[in-house]
Amino acid sequence: MYNDKSVNENFHIARAFAIARESPDLDIFSGFSLDDQKQIRKLMIETVLSTDMAVHFDLLSRFTSQVDAKPDLSEWTDRTLLYQMLVHLADIANPSRPFHLARGWAERVIEEFCDQGDREAACGLPVSAMCNRVTMNMPRAQLGFINIFLKPTLNCFERAAPDFVRMALEHLDLTIKEWQGLDAGGLVLPPHLMPQPSPQAGQPEQAQQQPQQQQGSPAAGGKIEDTRAPPMQPQLPLKVVDAGPLPKRHP
């Protein structure tokens, strides 16, 4: 599918256009001229495809070069690269949220990866990188992602728009310390994500279902209360911000 290139991203953007075409009440393009529709479509495709992690380093390299040449973003005449980087940053920025949110999303991502690895193994396929439940270490995986992908991206944005990323960088510094502390305490995975022992002949069923203990868990005598992150609750009341009038559309 899609010649094995950005399959997930290509599918999402193609499906978005298909929904708009098939459902008149969801067609967000209907009020625009054909020329505007073409421009919007082109920008949407380029922006969504830029969220493929396979193009991260090339994208960041081009953005860094552009920031070096013109650190004032208001001077950029072609802002396609800026839009691509903004959407890409939003896609990878979960670790820069307050830690109770960052950990909650980290657990969900790790669970998705491990589930994929389990299915690959069950089908006799090679287990993809970062999808092996047996070797997964959540704190170290998060620290690696932060140091390799997120922090360099935020640092580049900081040079061009420091106010835009200041809070994210502050949260990120705290999140790094939290993950380092959990790693030092022996956390590998939350109990509900730990690999289950393989059933053995003659072993009672209840014993087979006992989750593995890990260093640092209460059952192993550690001091860290190793539980899944609490549910994420919205912080109300929400402040409504007036973003100004919408762009004019053709009748």
Query: Which residue positions form the known binding site for Zn(2+)?
Result: 91
The burial class, CB within 10 Å (0-12 / 13-18 / 19+), for 55 is middle
Are the CB atoms for 250 and 32 separated by under 8 Å? Answer: yes
Is the CB of residue 147 less than 8 Å from the CB of residue 104? no
CB 232 within 8 A of CB 100: yes
Query: Alpha-carbon distance 210 to 221, whole Å?
Result: 17
First to last CA, the chain: 38
The H-or-E segment that residue 43 falls in is helix 34-49
Give the annotated binding-site residues.
91
